[in-house]
Amino acid sequence: MLLLAGLAVQLAPLLLRPLVLTQDGPAHLAGAWVLLHHGDDGPLGQLLREHYEVDLSPVPNMLATLLLAGLLLVVGPGLAEKVLLAGFVVLLLAGLRYALRGVDRRAGWLAAAALPLAGSQLVVYGFYNFCLGTALALVAVGLGLRRRSGWDVRGTVSLVAVLALTWTTHLLPWAGAAALLGALAVARSVVGLRSGQPVAQVAARHLAGPALAVLPTLVLSVRYVLGSETAPGEAVGGVSWSRLGALVTLAKPLVVASWWELLPAVLVAATLGALGLAASRRADPVAPADAPARADRLVLGTATLLSAAAFLLTPSRLGDDYGFLPERLAWFPPLLLTLFCATRLPDRRRTAQLAAGVLVVAASAAVLVRLPTELRDQRYAAEVMSVAADLPPGSTFAVLRFSGYEAALAPLDKEPNPLRHLSSRLAVEVGGVDIGHYEAVYPYFQVRFRDGSVRSAVDHRLEQLDQVPPSVDLLDAGGRLDAVLVVGLDDAEPWVRDARRTAHVLDHLRAGYEEVAVSGPDGHVSVWRLRGSAGG
């Protein structure tokens, strides 16, 4: 019941608020919508084919798009994104519980450790594929943890399917799951050999299943890496005291945008740390102390330490296309530590209940801390979305942002901006094209802007439209940009108002466009249409 109560707290804001607000979420939704309608007859399909090309080659960054496209067939855009995120939260909790019970059938209560991740930093960033991949990786690991006595055909086939799904999300969760499964297989094989079992029997029992299951996605990974159009660049950032602090407090990955979230994160870190320390010191395991169980324990403990080291040592970036590496790696130490804690559970039931209660309370407290910011963001987003009525269906438009973003309570710097790509959600609403659709700039998504796109015409480096203030040449669109939305100019900081690029873009705007509407009630958004266009 405690787990269900904690799950309800995580799901309630997601399901009850009008819009799902994550930074990249609207772009993922727009990508799915374009994929779904790209081949349509009529004006909409023609418009999308004019601006986008589609590539459905298998890549480890496509499951979320395909799921959203499938959901859009049966529900509206808003509900589709809610279902996807709610499904992730349930899958994360269920996946961790499944893996924990693979260690010890009594350890299901420890799945409460998944709840703080349900609304954490990368979720608010809208990294749907990575988040889904982590949940699926836990299912794959759970399959492996249940095979101490050896793999059978059914288990191997199940693992092939789960690893294939995991691979379609992100390489990092897939690689983590594959490595852990391999380590478990090797450790159990060593135990078998030491007990005198024949080599062929040990290989067939413990090695063949995982090897066969990993092989298809391993081949896909090699093919993907060799055929990738991008390559790692210069390493930026690395080990630091702040990185160590983020690990010890779980500020990464749990804290989103407010210093007030640090207290719930520390509560989670302290609880898992205490359980882990007790598990490492307890001499007599509660679970049967057979050799395979000890081997699994060694693997999980070692994996926890290695994941912590990887988080501490990995560069912050490897070029423009390889960012957020530590943020992604930050998910693995707490999850692996939780699995390690399951190898030796607390002796007293009351201790387990207290630990689970603290985890649920901490996760719920984080929801409450984020609530004022989310309510404010919902009002702002509603005002942005209200201008859909002022954009003719099929419009090609750009959104120029002039105001920054911060949490309503004790804000942090440089954290997720859930309003950043809201323009892509607006494009779905009006059945048009947002030239700021960030997915369409990168080669590892399923829909991309065609060569000679409006985006490349006004933003030659494909990275300046999204800046605050933007640096673009609107008149270079050559009449192909139907409308421009100016967001937050009245709220802009003085340096933004006085910036040369602000003056440049506003001069272009006034030369080629005319203002036709201002949003209400606060006037955050002004709508400008191309001079001489219908309704302009």
Residue whose token pair is 């294939």: 164
Q: So what's the pLDDT on residue 534?
A: 55
pLDDT of residue 462: 87
- Partners of 233 in the β-ladder: none
In angstroms, the CA 477 to CA 395 distance is 14
Query: Is the separation of the CB atoms in 371 and 409 below 8 Å?
Result: no
Write the DSSP symbol of residue 479.
T
Q: DSSP per residue over 349-415, as a string?
A: HHHHHHHHHHHHHHHHHHHHHHHHHHHHHHHHHHHHHHGGGGS-TT-EEEEEE------SSSBPSS-
Where are the chain's structural domains?
Answer: 87-347, 377-530
Measure the CA–CA gap between 503 and 501, rounded to whole angstroms. Answer: 5
Task: Tell me what pLDDT residue 444 has.
Answer: 87
User: Could you give the angle at the alpha carbon of 81 between the alpha carbons of 79 and 83, nearest 5°?
Assistant: 65
- Cross-sheet strand order for the sheet of 525-530: 433-434, 396-401, 483-487, 525-530, 513-518
Q: List the structure tokens of 4.
A: 């269900």
- Given a contact cutoff of 8 angstroms between Cβ atoms, the answer to whether 488 and 522 are in contact is no
Q: How large is the C-alpha radius of gyration of the chain?
A: 25
Nearest to 123 by CA among 363, 318, 333: 363
Say how far apart CA 531 and CA 536 lie, in whole Å: 6
Residue-by-residue pLDDT tens, the chain, 536 positions: 899 999 999 999 999 999 999 999 999 999 999 999 999 999 999 999 999 999 999 999 999 999 999 999 999 999 999 999 999 999 999 999 999 999 999 999 999 999 999 999 999 999 999 999 999 999 999 999 999 999 999 999 999 999 999 999 999 999 999 999 999 999 999 999 998 999 999 999 999 999 999 999 999 999 998 877 666 666 667 778 899 999 999 999 999 999 999 999 999 999 999 999 999 986 554 444 488 899 999 999 999 999 999 999 998 876 666 678 999 999 999 999 999 999 999 989 999 999 999 999 999 999 999 999 999 999 999 999 999 999 999 999 999 999 989 999 999 988 899 999 999 999 999 999 999 999 999 888 999 999 999 999 999 888 899 999 999 999 999 999 999 999 999 989 999 999 999 999 999 999 999 999 999 899 999 999 998 765 54
Identify the burial level of 196 via C-beta atoms within 10 angstroms of its C-beta, where 0-12 means exposed, 13-18 middle and 19 or more buried.
exposed
Q: How far apart are CA 350 and CA 424, in angstroms?
A: 49
User: How many Å apart are CA 180 and CA 308, to the nearest integer?
Assistant: 15
176 CA to centre of own chain: 16
Lookup: tokens for 512: 């080629």
Residue 42 amino acid letter = G
Phi-psi category of 488—alpha, beta or left, where left has phi over 0 and alpha has psi -120 to 50?
Answer: left
Which sign does the torsion angle of CA 261, 262, 267, 271 carry? positive
pLDDT computed for residue 413 by the predictor: 84
